[in-house]
Amino acid sequence: MINVIVSGFNGSMGQKAVKMVNESTDMQLVAGFNPVVKDLNPENYGLNKNVKIFNQVSKIDTKADVWIDFSIPSAVFDNTKFAIGKGIRPVIGTSGMSEDQTAELKKMADAKGLGGIIASNFGLSAVLMMKFAQVAAKYFDESEIVEKHHEDKIDAPSGTALNTARLIYQARGHEQIPHSNNDPMHTRGGDYHGIKIHALRLPGFVADEEVIFGGVGETLTISQSTTDRESFMTGVKLAIHEIMSIDHLVIGLEQII
Ligand SMILES: NC(=O)C1=CN([C@@H]2O[C@H](COP(=O)(O)OP(=O)(O)OC[C@H]3O[C@@H](n4cnc5c(N)ncnc54)[C@H](OP(=O)(O)O)[C@@H]3O)[C@@H](O)[C@H]2O)C=CC1
Ligand SMILES: O=C(O)C1=N[C@H](C(=O)O)C[C@H](O)C1
């Protein structure tokens, strides 16, 4: 049995993760973590009475194999460090970590021989979109990204948009055409090494992304649309099974599918 702690257990994604764990025959939820909650009675969250609820990381004493994290950008680095320190395999979906933070966590986990994953997106359509964008990047020198999310999303740009830009940048062998910064009202979005990222936050969206490549007399648009957060759980479940048998931390679901 794979024992799982869900960090951010009562958030939108945390609840989906809890449901996925509860419906899996080879996993069991042993604890939920959220420093914001006051009520530590699991039954008040619809959970089994044996599940422990923690609101202080220092009090977490439950033995676990996997730490699923769908919390908030400002907390995910420390949460993951805690999990790795305790020898709990991290499965991290929370966005907002810097490249340096991700690299530091990988170094920590690898040094301990601990399997784990940090994935900007656990959805198949987004992973494929990023793969296709890497292919297209070799043929088109210019591209922009438009990401559209629900109005409650804290961070911008999304982790997926940043990761898409990184992958495009790498696929081009780091050669980018410089763009002008003459944009006093920031109407041209953010800039990742010459790749513009535009972030929309509106009710009606869950998570969508378009990567638009422009060439002479033609454009190519690769787009994906998430309509239900349930879609992320296939990737989370697959990742949990995979990281149980590896001895290092992988960055991106594409590394294991
Ligand atoms: N990789 C992927 O495939 C996906 C990633 N995400 C990412 O997952 C994250 C969560 O998204 P979502 O569920 O929509 O957000 P929510 O705001 O719905 O959930 C976040 C939860 O984390 C809680 N929380 C606050 N502080 C901490 C902390 N220090 N440690 C643990 N939990 C904490 C919040 O509590 P409270 O509300 O009480 O403040 C809330 O319950 C975001 O970064 C999002 O971008 C989302 C979808 C897919
Ligand atoms: O906050 C969200 O909703 C999502 N966050 C992730 C991101 O920042 O890329 C993944 C997906 O876009 C949904």
Q: In sequence order, what are the residues at sequence separation of 6 or more whose Cβ sits closer than 8 angstroms to the Cβ of residue 137?
A: 143, 167, 168, 171, 172, 213
Position 182 scores a pLDDT of 75
pTM check: above 0.90: yes
Q: Which ligand gives the minimal distance to the CA of 235?
A: 1
Percentage of the chain lying above the pLDDT 90 cut: 93
Residue 40: pLDDT over 70: yes
Instruction: Tell whether residue 95 is among the known ligand binding residues.
Output: yes
Q: What is the mean pLDDT of residues 190-200?
A: 94
- pLDDT tens sequence across 97-111: 999 999 999 999 999
Number of Cβ within 10 Å of residue 74's Cβ equals 11
Q: Kindly report the CATH class assigned to 2-118+230-255.
A: alpha beta
Integer Cα distance of 240 and 143 in angstroms: 34
Instruction: Tell whether residue 174 is among the known ligand binding residues.
Output: no
Q: Pick the residue with more confidence: 33 or 176?
A: 33
73 lines ligand 1 (CB under 6 A): yes
Integer Cα distance of 34 and 256 in angstroms: 29
Residue 7: pLDDT over 70: yes
Position 176 scores a pLDDT of 65
Q: What is the mean pLDDT of residues 231-256?
A: 96
Residue with tokens 């990381």: 57
Q: Which of 120, 164, 211 to mutate to test the pocket of ligand 2 (most atoms within 8 A of CB)?
A: 120
Which atom, in ligand 1's list, is nearest to the CA of 7?
A: 31
- Residues annotated as part of the active site: 149, 153
Residue 78: pLDDT over 70: yes
Position 185 scores a pLDDT of 84
Position 87 scores a pLDDT of 98
120 lines ligand 2 (CB under 6 A): yes
Residue 222 tokens read as 């690769």
Q: Pick the residue with more confidence: 185 or 112?
A: 112
Q: Which CATH number applies to 124-226?
A: 3.30.360.10
121 lines ligand 2 (CB under 6 A): yes
Would you kindly state where each structural domain of the chain is located, as residue ranges?
A: 2-118+230-255, 124-226
Q: What is the mean pLDDT of the chain?
A: 95
Residue 171: pLDDT over 90: yes
Region at 94 (left for phi over 0; alpha for psi -120 to 50; beta for the rest): beta
7 lines ligand 1 (CB under 6 A): yes
Q: What is the ipTM of this complex?
A: 0.99
